[in-house]
Amino acid sequence: MTPIPDTTGHLPVPSIDDLSVLEVLALTLAHETGQLVHEGRPADLANTTGTKTSDTDPVTVMDTRAEEHLRRRLRAARPDDGLQGEEGSSIPSRSGLTWVVDPIDGTTNYLYDLPLYAVSVAVVVGDPTTPGAWRPVAGAVRAPALDITWSARAGGGAWRRGPARPWDVAGPGGEPPAVPARVGRQSHLGPALVGTGFGYQPERRAQQAEVLTRVLPAVRDLRRMGSAAIDLCLVGDGRLDGFFEVGLNPWDLAAGWLVVTEAGGSVSGVGGGAPGVDLVVAANPALHPRLLALLESPA
């Protein structure tokens, strides 16, 4: 089994065969957890929510139930791998691989019964708690209310599985076929449709509002979906030309980051460095530097 070359030059990547197994497991867990959160959504979430970072940042009972499901399944399937979860799961890795999971990305959408929420499951090499010291190698994002799944593995391309169309040939299990995902070809800001997201802290929202005054006049339009994982996959799928956001954690971006890059796109952070909490910018390779320069231009 020949390892895939590591383009970062310092983080080892599992073999092609191992990556295929990891992608299948990510897909399986994303589907299982997506079904759990979608079918198990209470009719009234008003009395089942707490808060995380602020009074406007909800955490539901289902968030914690879904993460516990992921933790239990991963401990059984991959006992030597680490785990980092949005709802607090933290298990050190003995294998060099760590699963980074978000049981419900877009919790506010889930709270309001809006369909733009997703389960994000990724496995990474390196230390996901240290900015710039890790990279995703396999992952999947499942949007259960939309019946769409994106997945990718290092060197294996990115794929979308969505509601079957009349002319599609179903897979062996009756599921919709996998369609290659490719980033769009828009190379200029003016005609670009760009996604973004907002934090929950008032101070961060004020800063993000200032950035919008520079970005909105320079692009075709902005979209705010409410799920960074979905936004990134839409860039990888060519449905958005670009995406940017501040405040994203590894579980928000790991699987979507890989979908974008395996779909032919670029993902970076400040100054073109590794994406992280300070900034995530995603687009095709021609548009990416222009969007990054716009975001980093003086106020």
Residue ranges for the known binding site for Mg(2+) are 86, 102, 104-105, 252
What are residue 97's phi and psi, to 5 degrees? -115, 140
Can you list the positions of beta strands (E) in the chain?
Answer: 49-51, 58-60, 82-85, 90-91, 97-105, 118-126, 134-143, 148-153, 158-161, 178-180, 193-196, 221-223, 242-245, 266-268, 280-283
**Positions at the binding site:** 86, 102, 104-105, 252
Residues 250 and 90: their CA atoms lie apart, in Å, by: 13
